[in-house]
Amino acid sequence: MFSLFKKKCAVCKQKAREPRKYFDDHNEPVVVCAQCVLYAERRAFRKRSA
């Protein structure tokens, strides 16, 4: 039941298993899964602190 509340990855649009928090290029907070972290950093997503 709680899987309904999981965030979706901003890159692959699937449920993020190990979510990482980033800001996109419009300064909006997004969640990126562990598999898409390298792609997100290449796309200039900035890490959110805590």
Spatial separation of the C-alpha atoms in residues 9 and 36, rounded to whole Å: 8
Query: How high is the pLDDT of residue 14?
Result: 93
Q: Are strands 46-47 and 20-23 parallel, antiparallel or unpaired?
A: antiparallel
Which structural domain range is residue 20 located in?
2-47
pLDDT in tens, 5-50: 788 999 999 999 899 999 998 999 999 999 999 999 999 899 988 6
Overall domain count for the chain:
1
Query: How high is the pLDDT of residue 11?
Result: 94
